[in-house]
Structure 1
Amino acid sequence: MPAHIGRPVITLAPHLVTTEDLIDRIATTYRDPDFPSRPRPSFGVWKRLILNTGVRQRYWSRPLQEATTPSSVGHRAQVAFGDALDLAESAARQALDAAGLHPGDIDAIVTSHTTSWTVPGLDIHLIERLGLNPTVARMPLATLACSGGAHALARALLHTDARHGDRVLVVVAETLSTIYHQSEDTPQSMMYRALFGDSAGACIVTGIDGRDYPDPGFVISDPFELAMPNSRDRYWGSIDGHGLHFESTKAASTAAADALPYMTDWLGERPVDWAVVHPGGPRIIDDVVAGVGLDPHKDGRHSHTSLAENGNLGGVAVLDVLRRAHDDPPAPGAPGLLAAFGPGFTVAGVYGNWA
């Protein structure tokens, strides 16, 4: 049974950080005589890595000075989760309002949140804050990072397939600025601190009978999940006394392209006229859009614009790209694909048609 995805709501963090601001902050830090001195690439190399991300600006939950000041792992986790929860609540309330729903109308909630440790999770906090039914079905997802939004939509589809007509609230929140650590100076750390932004996204997924389309949007019918064999060397997270870190190897640059044969096998002979692709970086967008037979410039434009304006929003990113597709939609009935990629190396996606 297909399901309809309502227009996602995206709540960006309050503090705009331009790439120029970030470069100036990094330059000031590494000119500081108290900063540990050791062999490192020239600042010109770092600057080039930062500019190559394709990100012009991003929004962080804390001002640049505060976000880049060292603190303990406990403090970072507490602040990061508190900020993520506030963003998530705002996005969820707006998604309910846009759909004309009350909290009691929601049958299930799917959440994804990776960037700070908390027990109980985001789902429990949102049930209390939003006033959802205490018996609402819960699907809390963690450790998925960038694939979280697509994975959440796939889980929502499976839920509505089992419980026809249910309304599922999907909420994803990430405060990725928490990976900024002043003491790190590897090329990867320079690239990632420039790549990521903080945000939350929410939407309503409703099971439908295949005929009743409540509003324009993506009607999905088939989910896809992949844990690519022998690929844990691509992207991963780690934690120490300073907080959360995001790491990768050179193998990461081809991870999305390496996963494409699995995706095309899943698609088979089904047509793809448009795509919502996770804006993990310019190469990821172009590799995937071209890999499913589309034009990276034309059909990857929403992903590239999202990346430039907001940075990589982690699991929220595909929801932001889907929001942009609502504002500049495919033709009615056009078949399409949504896909995202995360540490592991993992892929999640859904296939369907534009209503």
Structure 2
Amino acid sequence: MPRSQSAPVSLLSVSTAVPDTVITQAEAKDLARTLFGRRASAFERLAPVFDNAGIDKRHIVRPIDWYRGDHGWKARNDVYLEAAEALYIEAARKALDQAGIAADEVDGLVTVSTTGIATPSLEARVAGRMGFRRDVERVPLFGLGCAGGVSGLATASRLAAGREGKTILFVTVELCSTSIRLDKLSKANIVATALFADGAAAAVLRAGEGGLAAIEGGAEILWPDTLGIMGWDVEDPGLGVIFDRSIPPFVEENMAAAVEQILHHASQSRGAVKRYTCHPGGAKVVAALEQSLSIAEGSLDHERAVLREYGNMSAPTVLFVLKRVLEGGMPERTLLLALGPGFTTSGLTLARA
């Protein structure tokens, strides 16, 4: 179904935040070799994924030695809560400052996070420190994975469209490094250790004209019988990543048709899109997107740059890319795209204000 809006919505700001600890890809590979080294030959067969991931460095919420320890569910989630709250506040304050809006002017909060459990949800836990109103609307979203950056922004846009001047703060925080199983040798865990990182992003939206861009519309496309492609298995002592090697060929085969559906729901055509702004799930996924969308190799330059500097932070990553696109000059129209568990793709069109 199309995701229609009753009023125009403007994107007023986009901000990002990352933890202080930086790990280079070489350090990540050495750490993984140590942790998975009980079956050295199996690890060495898969080790080239670190070299081919297109990543130079990433940010993680704890010093490297923390990941050598034995941490159960509670210890991992305690780290998630502490770090996620801090990153939420940093990203949210940046976005509000850039938009020139005070926290008590925000009418609604949309929060996306899938890498930890927070009940009450993150926006409630930080509400007092942020200064949100007591009557602020709250929409926490869980389980969207990497697609959450686009799906969350679309949800925030629909919430804002309810009335003129309504202001929504969207924040997504993912701490992948606290969730990945580092004690269990599997191809999926090794790939996850080579790709995933921690970060947060935020955006302020308001019903009305102006801002950085106008949010138009889009849709989510869910493919049947694809639950095994991406997601989490709930295990002890943490989440076991589901990460199928079929993702790049699946993207190459299916994304073009999905994009046509998304653009139809947004009442747009392929010709109206001047740039695709994509979640860089990995180097092979970026290449598959270019192939499927019939755009020149290397066109997704901001995607590769974000992947190289930050790794795959799950949901926030696409907003890191959008921020770079905006800073370089908003195209006449861009289609924001992300893939995630389901298996699903979420798309949203933004036009130059």
TM-score, normalisation: structure 1? 0.90
Give the residue type in structure 2 aligned to 1:22: A
Give the residue type in structure 2 aligned to 1:168: I
Instruction: Please name the residue that 1:229 is paired with.
Output: 224
- With over 3 angstroms needed to count, the CA separation of the structure-2 counterparts of 1:69 and 1:231, relative to structure 1, is same
1:176: how far off? 0.5
Instruction: Please name the residue that 2:156 is paired with.
Output: 156
- With over 3 angstroms needed to count, the CA separation of the structure-2 counterparts of 1:343 and 1:64, relative to structure 1, is same
SS in 1 for 2:246: helix
Write out per-residue CA displacement over residues 285-306 of structure 1, whole angstroms, 9 at most, x where no aligned residue.
Answer: 23334433433412x0111100
1:250: how far off? 3.2
Instruction: Please name the residue that 1:190 is paired with.
Output: 190
Give the residue type in structure 1 aligned to 2:260: T
Q: Does 1:4 align with 2:10?
A: yes
Alpha-carbon separation, structure 1, partners of 2:293 and 2:23: 34
Instruction: Please name the residue that 1:350 is paired with.
Output: 348
Instruction: Please name the residue that 2:4 is paired with.
Output: none
RMSD of equivalent CA atoms: 1.8
Give the residue type in structure 1 aligned to 2:135: T
Give the residue type in structure 2 aligned to 1:186: S
1:248: how far off? 2.5
Alpha-carbon separation, structure 1, partners of 2:244 and 2:62: 29
Q: Which runs of structure 2 are paired with 1:2-151 in the superposition (5 Å)? A: 2-30=8-36, 35=38, 41-43=42-44, 45-151=45-151
Alpha-carbon separation, structure 2, partners of 1:266 and 1:51: 34
Write out per-residue CA displacement over residues 185-211 of structure 1, whole angstroms, 9 at most, x where no aligned residue.
Answer: 212211111201111111101111xxx
Give the residue type in structure 2 aligned to 1:220: I
Instruction: Please name the residue that 2:261 is paired with.
Output: 265
1:275: how far off? 1.5
Alpha-carbon separation, structure 1, partners of 2:344 and 2:289: 14
Contact residue 182 and residue 189 of structure 2 kept, 8 A: no
- With over 3 angstroms needed to count, the CA separation of the structure-2 counterparts of 1:290 and 1:249, relative to structure 1, is closer
Q: Kindly report structure 1 stretches of 4+ aligned residues shifted beyond 4 Å.
A: none
Write out per-residue CA displacement over residues 242-261 of structure 1, whole angstroms, 9 at most, x where no aligned residue.
Answer: 11121123333333332431
Query: Which one of 197, 210, 213 corresponds to residue 210 of structure 2?
Result: 213
SS in 1 for 2:225: coil
Alpha-carbon separation, structure 2, partners of 1:202 and 1:30: 35
Q: Does 1:276 align with 2:271?
A: no
Contact residue 36 and residue 185 of structure 2 kept, 8 A: no
- With over 3 angstroms needed to count, the CA separation of the structure-2 counterparts of 1:4 and 1:24, relative to structure 1, is same
Give the residue type in structure 2 aligned to 1:15: T
Instruction: Please name the residue that 1:288 is paired with.
Output: 289
Alpha-carbon separation, structure 1, partners of 2:280 and 2:183: 27
Q: Does 1:253 align with 2:248?
A: yes
Alpha-carbon separation, structure 1, partners of 2:315 and 2:85: 15
Query: Which one of 237, 241, 255 corresponds to residue 242 of structure 1?
Result: 237
SS in 1 for 2:66: helix
Write out per-residue CA displacement over residues 265-301 of structure 1, whole angstroms, 9 at most, x where no aligned residue.
Answer: 3324352111210010122223334433433412x01
Q: Which runs of 5+ in 2 are unaligned?
A: 1-6
SS in 2 for 1:250: coil
Q: Which runs of 5+ in 1 are unaligned?
A: none
Alpha-carbon separation, structure 2, partners of 1:128 and 1:275: 38
1:88: how far off? 0.8
- With over 3 angstroms needed to count, the CA separation of the structure-2 counterparts of 1:154 and 1:296, relative to structure 1, is farther
Contact residue 7 and residue 326 of structure 1 kept, 8 A: no
Contact residue 40 and residue 185 of structure 1 kept, 8 A: no
Alpha-carbon separation, structure 1, partners of 2:127 and 2:256: 37
Alpha-carbon separation, structure 2, partners of 1:254 and 1:5: 33
